[in-house]
Structure 1
Amino acid sequence: MTDRTVIDLFCGAGGLSEGFRQAGYHVLAGNDFFDAAGATFVATHPEARFLPGPIQDHSVQSILKVAGLKRGELNVLVGGPPCQGFSVYNHQRGLHDARSSLYHEYLRVVAGLKPQWVVLENVTGMTSAGGGGAVTGIVEGLGALGYNVSAKILRAEEYGVPQERRRLVFIGNRIGVPIEFPKPTHGVNLEPFVTIEDAISDLPRLKNGEGYEVSSYETSPTSSYQKAMRNGQNGVTNHAAAKLSKVNLDRLHHIPQGGSWRDIPIDLLPEGMKKAKRSDHTKRYGRLTWKGLASTILTKCDPHWGAYFHPDQDRTLTVREAARLQSFPDSFEFKGSRTEQYVQVGNAVPPLLGRAIAERILQMTNSVGYLEAAE
């Protein structure tokens, strides 16, 4: 019996599998249809095989062959089916969106691989889209395959991620182990939240539109988080600032740390926002504050979407800064165009959240001696 093995479906750049790897798992394979994400996964998971293209194109037998496993031997199957169909940012969301039915493919692979554990994550909007039909479908579908499943919304910041981020996580197993979710490590009466300052203040300063393929750190780490993210690296990649237009720079000059569009003179606001209520669009054109948490990192750090201006530099966040705020180590070099890099970072599960889930699964299995019995 093979233990501590993981296969990652809809893996993207590999945030979830990176978390499991940090917890001591062996990543055997990953699949995604997004070529740039696949290139990142290949570069950052040299021990794993990458299966390109839609999951529909891959039979269970081909996945087993690539992973070198027999049915029932895989320890954990993880995955996050594309979430745009459920996202609160998709105002036409619902089960009619073709992307919303990809969890059926996850169930197909579960039925064929018969892993001991399953982990599936998605945006919280899945609980309401289509009347929560996808959540019911996943729980009932896995139940029909012999899995006991629980679902819970986890807050990434409670596990050391310097960002306000909510994810719906399903955990299940077919080996009779009671399911428990990872206990928060950060928050009230716990470790303090990791701030933006803790996360990115050591990265090289940049002007608007400035950046290089590889940058040296220039300063020593000032927090344990920065030291962990560097993990022995000599410098950073993906650290280039997008070039803001003159009107956006003019707007930005009026915005203090923690400020937003409300601080911009009305004559400088975009036409569509000049008549907005003060209670609307609360984080648009927001400037982050060193002592706070980041807003949810989305698939582009567009100031019209939220608070993505650097705390004290007149520019938006770089891909590297967004990756740091997602808890990706600096060893991850994101491939593809800059637009594709932002998409990979924004779609990812924060590795530290993945690690907390992986470590909890290990604790649950060890508590009943299952892993020892399997050896």
Structure 2
Amino acid sequence: MPFPIIDLFAGPGGLAEGFSSLIGNDNERVFKIELSIEKDSHAHQTLTLRSFLRQFPFRELPEEYYAFLRQEITIEELYNAWPEQHQEALHEAWQATLGETPEAEIDNRIAEKLDGETNWVLIGGPPCQAYSLVGRSRVGGISETDHRVHLYKEYLRIIARHQPAVFVMENVKGLLSAELNGEKIFGKIMADLTTPATVFPEFAPPAYRIYSLVKGDVRADTDYLIKAENYGAPQRRHRVILLGIREDIDVQPGTLEPSRRIDLRSVIGALPSVRSGIYREFTRTEVVSTETGTKKVRKYLNLEDSFLNWSKRVKAYTVELLNSFSELGYDVKFEQTLPETTGSDFRRTPCTIAATHPLSRWYSDEKLQGVIQHQSRGHLTQDLKRYLFASLYTREFKKFPRMEDYRKFGTDLIPDHENAESGKFNDRFRVQLPDEPATTVTSHISKDGHYFIHYDPSQCRSLTVREAARIQTFPDNYWFCGSRTQQFHQVGNAVPPYLAWQIAAVVHEILVPANAREVREPLLFRY
């Protein structure tokens, strides 16, 4: 029987995807996601859809799912075609808010799903914005009144009340340095997770031993830090991940096996080329009076998005920029072939990753016969020029430009912001380097694409949802529900599924005696 999984703060299901992708030699899943809890409605819709797919036998996704991906039927029609599986998914993916939903209701759902099983696994990542370096710099530190600081205790309460055999908890790197009232938060969390009885004595919980997934024996807090690029993810994503083992399980866990680094070009380079969209043009700034003084108001001209409107601007910007490079003594050669489409939610195309790529079987689904959710967003015309310059500069110098470089090549490349050239925004526009792992995909990608500019000057755009999903190692048939902004938000908040799959293998070794382990590589389809 598969080991039960309870997934807290589940997001769109990155951890669950990895754990449910570990397959035994009988082609059955080693772990079963019994319950995923997530408060965001759009992420919950994504979780429900992925749970729906897990109700089918391994490698036997229904044809209606591919019809849905091709936009031939609606998600309601998909669910109506398989009502029993849909109901199972609704029982697995639960929209609830830890810290607000009554504890008795949560406990009853978990107890019902576990049905007395003691060898089960708790996974999840309490919200991390309060601990992140960017979040702390924005508000000047960590506030006692920020409820997110204490949400790890909801995770801790589940440990104390239901006592999993193993838990896996993920959070941001900033957790290691975060302080509250002069006390290191990480030290407090570690103490609580090791002895949950100090916080929840009423449950008489056992103690836990906490291990590093990369170092084994822990000598420093940084030993809990996992650098995803060292484990096959095409992304420099550094996260704190804790592995907890209940004290009665006398097992020394293994660690993740390092692998060669995967560069960005190899995972997104073969996706169809798409151009950016345009939607408006900055015209001027006006100073207007307010009750408290004056303020700047930016004025824009709305534009119709078309290949003609887009291409004439891009061609003109290219000429201007190449002249600027030439005037500064740089002989930049660029043959421009402009894509005509902004992409779509489904585009029929041959396989978009090399069969020899280390992650080819992980991403690919031959029944998909195309690419999904690969559509660019619209950009301000002035940002088009900045993106074009940044990608040309990066192509020539193998690094993305800083604000002083923008000024050197043209004052019109500087954004109309008072703090545009401050140190805080010096890397405001960041091109992803093609021959290295990408930088960390975060939820900020949902706000704008300035930190995620495509390296190809001809496309002149930020990354698409599918490109961000590839960087995060979501399989190509993984559909994200909601608007494009909401899809980006989900992708940025997730744990890379391929990393989670490797963690699942370590957890499996803890739960199963060595002579009984029979786990195989993930096959072409996970479901």
TM (norm. structure 2) is 0.64
The answer to whether the 8 A contact 1:195-1:293 is kept is yes
Q: One-letter code of the match for 1:20?
A: F
2:496 maps to 1:347: no
User: Whole-Å Cα distance in 2 between the matches of residues 363 and 282 of structure 1?
Assistant: 46
Question: Which of 475, 482, 485 is the matching residue for 1:336?
Answer: 482
Matched, 1:112 2:112: no
Partner of 1:268: 413
Secondary structure in 2 aligned to 1:28?
strand
Q: Which residue of 2 aligns with 1:360?
A: 506
C-alpha separation in 1, matches of 2:455 and 2:271: 13
Other-structure match for 2:129: 84
**What are the Cα deviations for residues 285-337 of structure 1, in whole angstroms up to 9, with x where unaligned?**
12122211111001132797863111102100011110100000011100011
Which residue of structure 1 aligns with residue 322 of structure 2?
none
CA distance in 2, matches of 1:177, 1:357: 19
Unaligned runs of 5+ in 1: 187-191
The structure having more radius of gyration, on CA atoms, is 2
1:8 aligns with 2:149: no
- The answer to whether the 8 A contact 1:260-1:307 is kept is no
Query: Are 1:74 and 1:113, in contact at CA under 8 Å, matched by a contact in 2?
Result: no
Aligned residues: 362
2:47 equivalent among 41, 47, 55: 41
Residue 249 of structure 2 is aligned to residue 176 of structure 1: yes
Give deviations 1:73-99, integer Å, cap 9, x for gaps: 352100101111111111234262211
Let me know the Cα RMSD of the aligned residues.
2.5
Identity within the alignment, %:
28
- Aligned with 1:253 (options 385, 388, 393): 388
Q: Who is 2:78 aligned against?
A: none
**What amino acid sits opposite 1:63 in the alignment?**
I
- Answering whether residue 371 of structure 2 is matched by residue 324 of structure 1, we say no
Aligned residues of 1:118 and 1:171 also touching (Cα < 8 A): yes
Cα distance in 2 for residues equivalent to 1:95 and 1:217: 50
Q: Report SS of the residue matched to 2:94.
A: strand
Structure 1 residues 284, 354: closer, same or farther in 2, change over 3 A?
same
- SS of the residue corresponding to residue 167 of structure 2 reads strand
Task: Give me the whole-angstrom Cα distance separating, in 2, the residues matched to 1:272 and 1:305.
Answer: 20
Shift of 1:259: 2.0
Kindly indicate whether the alpha-carbon contact (under 8 Å) linking 1:202 and 1:217 is maintained by their aligned counterparts in 2: no
Residue 126 to residue 215, structure 1, CA distance change in 2 (3 Å): same
* Counterpart contact for 1:302–1:308, Cα < 8 Å: no
Alignment match, 1:189: none
Q: Distance in 2 between matches of 1:181 and 1:306?
A: 39
Once the two structures are TM-superposed, the CA of residue 32 in structure 1 deviates from its matched residue by: 0.5
Give the direction of change, closer, same or farther, for the CA distance of 1:135–1:317 in structure 2 (3 Å limit). Answer: farther
Whether the aligned pair in 2 keeps the contact of 1:95 and 1:129 (CA below 8 Å) is: no
1:20 deviates by 0.7
Higher alpha-carbon deviation: 126-135 or 156-165 = 126-135
Please show how residues 216-295 of structure 1 align to structure 2 within 5 Å: 216-218=348-350, 220-222=352-354, 223-232=357-366, 233-255=368-390, 256=392, 257=394, 258-262=399-403, 263-264=405-406, 265-270=410-415, 271-272=417-418, 275-276=421-422, 281=425, 283-295=427-439
Which stretch shifts more, 346-355 or 201-210? 201-210
| Deviation readout 1:116-151 (Å, 9 max, x if unpaired) | 101111001111212432442344344233211235
- The CA deviation at 1:181 is 5.7
> Is the alpha carbon distance of 1:77 and 1:282 closer, same or farther for their aligned partners in structure 2, counting shifts above 3 Å?
same
CA distance in structure 2 between the aligned counterparts of 1:267 and 1:31, rounded to whole angstroms: 48
| Separation of aligned partners in 2, 1:272 and 1:302 | 23
Q: Against the structure 1 CA distance between its residues 45 and 303, is the aligned structure 2 distance closer, same or farther, given a 3 Å change threshold?
A: closer
Give how far 1:199 is off: 1.0
* Cα gap change, 1:125 to 1:220, in 2 (>3 Å): closer
Instruction: Give the deviation of 1:39 after TM superposition.
Output: 0.4
Relative to structure 1, the CA distance from residue 199 to residue 239 in structure 2 (aligned partners, 3 Å threshold; closer, same or farther) is: same
Residue deviations 1:180-221, cap 9 Å, x none? 4633422xxxxx311111111121111112121212234552
- Unaligned residue ranges in structure 2 (runs of 5+): 23-29, 56-88, 197-204, 213-223, 278-341, 519-527
